[in-house]
Amino acid sequence: MSDATSRYVFALCAVAALLLTARVADAQAVPSPSPAATSTPELRRALPAPLDPLFTGGGGAEFNGPTIGVPTDPGVRAYGWLDPGVEESSSKYSNYPLTYDDVPNRVQMDQAVFRVELQPNTVQTDHDDWGFRITGLYGVDYRWTTQQGVLSNQLLLRNQTNGFDPVEAYGILYFPKMGQGTTVEIGRYISPPDIEAQLAPNNFLYTHSLMFDFDSYTQTGFLAATKLSDYWTIEYALDAGEDIAPWDGSAHFPTGLMLARYVSHSNRNSVLFGINSISLGSRNGQNFTTYTKGTYIDPATGQVKPMIWGHDNLQQQNVTWTHVFNPEFQNQFEAYYLYEYNAYVGGTVNNYNVATGGPLYLGAGGGIGAFLPGLSDATGFVDYLEYIFSKRDFVSFRTDYVNDPRGERSGFPTAYGSLTLGVTHRFSPVFMIRPEIRTEKAFRPGITPYDNGTKSYQNTFGMDAILNYGNP
């Protein structure tokens, strides 16, 4: 795409934002409960769901964070989804750092997911209960969800385009007498604080923000949530660090999490804030971790050398604010600050082609990057404006910014920005499509992170289709 096309996409996104924002003047003073909430009030031990159920095909009808006291289907359920998509791009070799859809101009299977789960009944307060969730993911998106130490050689050694990841595997305990109800997840679970989520049906748009690209995806340990009142809920955890198995040589145990969610008495605003990840103990516990395992032959000298591995040790703080104008119109804003010490350019080490010195593939595979002594940090912001304009459709406008000044997260020392405009259309309760247009740019002069390090900008048109199956 030309520079003129890039300017056109920016202008189109900006006009859409102005049109959607103008709707604020017509917003209702107090939102009515969603149809799902009003139909069965006796079964819900929580505030009414603030948003229209159509958003369950995106970010959900509930506020971000855990909502204890919401009815769930009883019994063991087995279900999943297929999520193929395509991203037509101005890049030829790689869309990176666009997430997840890093293979350009080719139809791909982003996610083929199968899940088995049993949810505890958190509406009742008479007895303890239990449940579990197991989720297996196959497709291109495993490149982002992979946890080092669990089938991670698919990515970190072989750099496969497609792979399998058991992205969730945890048991659930429910204790109704702890606060106004407490749940405890034990095992591997998805990192809790973001607007965006790792699994396709939980997102407003096909692609993810640049900010989401570079934060935590999953953790392994225990994660508890306690309802203090209808307005306050807290989450707290101990785990082995970000995207790392407890038994791996790069694990950082104990790592702590403490988040709180406040919902206003009008049920129009929610703030989820706190620490998503912090290593407990001395500052050395906040260092990037390296170790050696295996050997390779240096093609330049012919010498046998130890292979160096390493993993990020992200320290992460988040805040997310949701404002509901009415059940069909909302805005969500999120910011984070990440840091770690004594890191390496590009973060977690992918050793594909380290012995041959071959080219990068999809932005990865070059071995360990340059050492970055001292503090490395990153700051990110993202905003989602969401509006339902028909019984089957809602539009999403996303603005996004992340600053990676030393290149520890992305491999390139620059700030990035992106604009995305998309529509979600539901043909039926089990099938939807999400077309979108997007433009993005690296702002530091002379830095070219796109298309395997050759371009400073990228324009794309993408679309995916989500087909659900089973009994969700």
Region label for 272, one of left (φ > 0), alpha (ψ between -120 and 50) or beta (otherwise): beta
347 SS3 class: coil
**Cα separation of 388 and 394, whole Å?**
4
Indicate which CATH number applies to the domain containing 65: 2.40.160.10
Q: What is the pLDDT of residue 355?
A: 65
pLDDT band at 108 (very low <50, low <70, confident <90, very high): very high
pLDDT band at 58 (very low <50, low <70, confident <90, very high): confident
- Whole-model pTM over 0.75: yes
Dihedral Cα 145, 148, 150, 156, nearest 10 deg: 80
pLDDT at 10 over 70: no
**Cα separation of 351 and 308, whole Å?**
8
140 SS3 class: coil
Q: Which of 35-39, 42-46, 87-91, 191-195 has the lowest mean pLDDT?
A: 35-39
Contact indicator for 288, 341 with CB cutoff of 8 Å: yes
- Within a 10 A sphere around the Cβ of 29, how many other Cβ atoms? 8
Q: What is the pLDDT of residue 353?
A: 85
- Residue in 35, 47, 45 with CA at minimum distance from that of residue 269: 47
pLDDT, tens digit (0-9, with 9 covering 90-100), for 333-373: 999 999 999 999 999 999 998 867 767 888 888 899 999 99
In which domain, by residue range, is 441 found? 3-470
C-alpha to C-alpha distances, 371 to 82, 174, 230, 293, nearest whole angstrom: 40, 45, 48, 19
Q: What is the pLDDT of residue 430?
A: 95
CA angle 452, 14, 325 (to 5 degrees): 115
**Cα separation of 432 and 463, whole Å?**
11
Contact indicator for 214, 194 with CB cutoff of 8 Å: no
pLDDT, the chain, mean: 89
Beta bridge partners of 109: 84
What DSSP state is assigned to residue 31?
A: P
In sign, the C-alpha dihedral spanning 7, 11, 17, 21 is positive
Q: What is the pLDDT of residue 271?
A: 98
**Cα separation of 324 and 32, whole Å?**
10
Total tally of structural domains belonging to the chain = 1
